[in-house]
Amino acid sequence: MIQVRVSARAVEAEGICSFELVAVDGQPLPGFSAGSHVDVTVGGHTRQYSLCNDPKETHRYLIAVLREPTSRGGSEAMHAQVQVGDVVTISPPKNHFTLAHDARRHLLLAGGIGITPILCMAERLAATGADFELHYCTRSRDRMAFHDRIANAAFASKAQFHFDDGPPSQRFDIAARLATPGEGEHLYVCGPKGFMDAVLNTAREKGWPEAQLHCEYFAADPAPASEGDAFEVQIASSGRIVMVPAGKTVVQALADAGVDVQTSCEQGVCGTCITRVLSGTPDHRDLYFTPEEHAANDQFTPCCSRSKSPRLVLDL
């Protein structure tokens, strides 16, 4: 883990604050690639925030946080508690949302706060001279973070802004834009779950190859992770069997039995808790894996997923 100090804090849009983080010891921070995020621990909550500064920079990380009324505490703690000068603990950057460098063209789609990794990607693609197009959708201009940074960027001509409360002619027409999969064109989407589901479902309906679809969910709907019937998990290394009752997640049941699985988001979006499944059929409830990875049934996210079979044997 890394100790960082908040060196600046700014209001970027209605409900969105940015936080600039620098190393407490004054040393360069670990490098990162476009699409990376860090885990930030504040007020007992650990949440993932994408880095939205230039990946060439090593003297700082920039994150932006939307204050969510339905927050489970993470974004609320960031807004209410974290001030300039505070020291917070973060993880080194991790990237589950990488650019496909063999793509011929890149289509970047951001909804709301989903602009954070997408902006970093746009700047990286612009720096490398890659062919790309950015669509950034928000409910209104007031809620659009980083508007001026994009409007004044060298790649501004490749970016289009769309507002839900604006004239219909400027709204982003998902079905029209995704009507024909571009050859070698890769699609990247980040934003609220409804926006992402609409984009990904449309792309799949229109025949976009799965390998050309890239997404990162920030948060799931309030997940019914503990809802479902009881089942057993068997720990392969010891043979021990742990019952997972209705009302508890696999992670909770294992913790009760003294077996700790590392978690972070606890809602199936970050991948921290991924555990290999040696036999049995998981009931996947995460947003992390692709449909192909779900179908393989050889790994699952025990923070939120359950079992379709009476027993799962886990590689623990």
40 binds ligand FES (CB under 6 A): no
- Among 60-68, 166-174, 214-222, 262-270, which window interacts with ligand FES (CB under 6 A)? 262-270
119 versus 303: smaller Cβ distance to ligand FES: 303
The 268-287 contact track toward ligand FES, x by CB under 6 A, reads xxxxxx------------x-
CB of 102 to ligand FES, least distance (A): 28
Pairing type for strands 105-111 and 132-138 reads parallel
DSSP track, 259-297: -----SSSSSSS-TT-EEEEES-EE---SSS-HHHHHH-
133 versus 286: smaller Cβ distance to ligand FES: 286
Nearest in space to 121 (alpha carbons), one of 102, 107, 138: 107
CB of 226 to ligand FES, least distance (A): 13
Structure tokens at 244: 């997972």
Residue type, 252: Q
What is the C-alpha separation between 187 and 25, in angstroms, rounded?
Answer: 39
265 binds ligand FES (CB under 6 A): yes
CB of 217 to ligand FES, least distance (A): 10
CB 139 within 8 A of CB 165: yes
What is the C-alpha separation between 77 and 103, in angstroms, rounded?
Answer: 39
Options 20, 185, 216, 266; binder of ligand FES; rule CB under 6 A:
266
For residues 95-154, which are near ligand FES according to CB under 6 A?
A: none
Options 13, 159, 303, 314; binder of ligand FES; rule CB under 6 A:
303
What is the C-alpha separation between 127 and 130, in angstroms, rounded?
Answer: 8
38 binds ligand FES (CB under 6 A): no
75 versus 301: smaller Cβ distance to ligand FES: 301
Beta partners for residue 4, in sequence order: 23, 88
Q: Which residues bind ligand FES (CB under 6 A)?
A: 263-266, 268-273, 286, 288, 301, 303
